[in-house]
Amino acid sequence: MRAFVDTSALLAVLVANDLHHADATMIWRRELEQGSDLVTLNYVLVETTAVLQHRVGMAAVRTLVHDVVPVLRVEWVSAEDHEAATGALLAGGRRGVSLVDCCCFQVMRRLGLERAFAFDRHYTNAGFEVF
C-alpha cells in the first residue's frame, strides 16, 4: 500500500513523550511489516529535522537520518509544485495551513496518493484519508 508520511507522524514516532507516540509506533511498525510504500517530501524532512534538533537534540536527528529516512521514498518538491503550493497557500488565506502542508497536498495529488500517516487535521480537511 502507498501512503504519505507527514512531519506530525515522524515526530510522533521519534519523540517518546509525544501525545501520539504509542499509536504512531504501532502504525509505523504495521506499515513497515506490510511493506508499504511510504512517501514523504524533502520539505517534510527539513521541517522534521529542524523541530527535532531544536526540541529534542541531535540523537533524534541521527535516528531520523540513519533509521527512518532509508525506509522512506523521498519526493523532491519541484519548482512547479512549490509554485502551485504557494498559490494555494495565498488563495486559502489561512494561517494554520503551512507552505509545507500545501506542498504535501500538491505532491500527494500529483502522485495520486489518498492516504496519509499524519496527526494533522489539515489532511482530512484537504480530502485525504488519515490513518
Class of domain 2-75+113-124: alpha beta
User: Cβ contacts of residue 126 below 8 Å, gap of 6+?
Assistant: 101, 105
What is the pLDDT at residue 92?
85
CB 74 within 8 A of CB 34: no
Q: What is the pLDDT along the chain (131 residues), one digit of tens a residue?
A: 899 999 999 999 999 999 999 999 999 999 999 999 999 999 999 999 999 999 999 999 999 999 999 999 999 999 999 999 999 999 988 788 999 999 999 999 999 999 999 999 999 999 999 98
What ranges in the chain are assigned the alpha helix state H?
7-14, 21-33, 42-55, 58-63, 79-92, 99-111, 121-125
CA distance 119 to 58: 23
